[in-house]
Structure formats: structure tokens, C-alpha cells
Amino acid sequence: MPEMLSLRINGATVRVANGTSVSAAMLIAGQPTRISVTGEPRGPVCGMGICFECRAIVNGMPHQRTCQLLCEEGMTVETNR
């Protein structure tokens, strides 16, 4: 199992340690997980699957709770707009 892996977040390649959650990777990348209906950038709040603030598009699937997902090699992640 590789110690580091690469994924794409909003088009940029990000390298993170194996075992990093997708929400943490988005924070590392400085990217919001979603944009609110009023246009505000949002990010993870609870980190345990309850608040849904960390929803993003993961491998083309919208509204994925990124705090509940671990990064995988080659994963693509986009801010949920």
C-alpha cells in the first residue's frame, strides 16, 4: 500500500498521505467542499457524517459526504455547486 497517493481536486493534482479523508484533502488544497445557495464557500463542520456541509462531487457522484470517504489513487473531486 503506497504511503502517498494523488488525486485531482477541482482540476489540480494533490498528494496526500494514505488514510487521509477527502474532506481533509480538500482543506489541504484550499478548496470548498460546496457552494451554498447564497454563494458562500462551505467546508466540513462535524467530521462525522451528520452535518452534510462536506458534500462534494466524488468520481462524478454529487453530494458525497467527503468526511466519510478516504482518498484513493486517481480519485477526482469537485466542489459541489
Name the residues that contact ligand FES, by CB under 6 A.
23, 44-47, 49-54, 65, 67
Question: Least distance in Å: CB of 42 to ligand FES?
Answer: 10
Q: Which residue type is seen at 3?
A: E
Whose Cβ is closer to ligand FES: residue 67's or residue 71's? 67
Q: How far is the CB of 47 from ligand FES (least distance, A)?
A: 5
Residue type, 34: R
The Cα–Cα gap between 24 and 44 comes to 8
SS3 of 61, please? strand
The CB-of-56 to ligand FES minimum distance in angstroms stands at 10
Radius of gyration from C-alpha coordinates of the chain: 12
